[in-house]
Amino acid sequence: MFVPNHYREPDVSWMVDLMRGNPLALMASNGTPGEGPIATHLPVITDPRWEGLPAADLSGMPLLGHMNRANPHWAALDTGSMVLLTFTGPHAYVSPTVYGITPAAPTWNFTSVHVHGEVEKVESTEETLGVVQATVRAFEKEFGDSWDMSESIDYFRKIVPGVGAFRVRVTKAEGMFKLSQEQRPEVRERVVQSFAERGCTRHAQTADLMDRLS
């Protein structure tokens, strides 16, 4: 991903926060010469057993994910192959009317993290079940109501043969946080204010990130 210097994240924690707050990633990998690349939207979490600190480019970070085994993407994945995971964060259109200056041009403020890594397919049923359970715990803690899955484990065991779980060892990651950094402070403040007034969660989240850069 091409990232101009002024759009790079100010700290590695920005990339980690974006990935954890927006865990529905787009996994892309090579397909056949005739079909081209293959892509699947799927949930991805950090391996909860990992206790390390993230490197500046997230190299070495272990991730977990899963998809439907009926998905042709699963058959096309090979352990040891490279994949790209794209995590998309808050984004919003910026109209030139907000700038209050002429000439001006419209743009789109957005945030994204591209993660490159080596994939390892999980073949064991118990390990696959473990990935599913870890994903549920992570999402219930972050987005749910701490649902107790204990009474549904038997149901999980029935459906897990159709689940393809995998690990990804991150080799590098790049974050793009395009948040009007090239504009003068007073112009950026007008953009933040316009987003905050929209009453839209996506715009509000983009405004919050812009405030963090101040």
Exposure b/e, 193-208, CB count within 10 A at least 16 = b: ebbbeeeeeebebbbe
For residues 25, 21, 91, 30, the Cα torsion angle rounded to the nearest 10 degrees is: -10
pTM, full prediction: 0.95
Q: CA-to-CA distance for 105 and 117, rounded, in angstroms?
A: 36
Model confidence at 41: pLDDT above 90: yes
Tens digit of each residue's pLDDT (9 = 90 or more) over 63-104:
999 999 999 999 999 999 999 999 999 999 999 999 988 899
Measure the CA dihedral 183/186/192/194, to 10°.
Answer: -110
Q: 121-172, pLDDT tens digit by residue?
A: 999 999 999 999 999 999 999 999 999 999 999 999 999 999 999 999 999 9
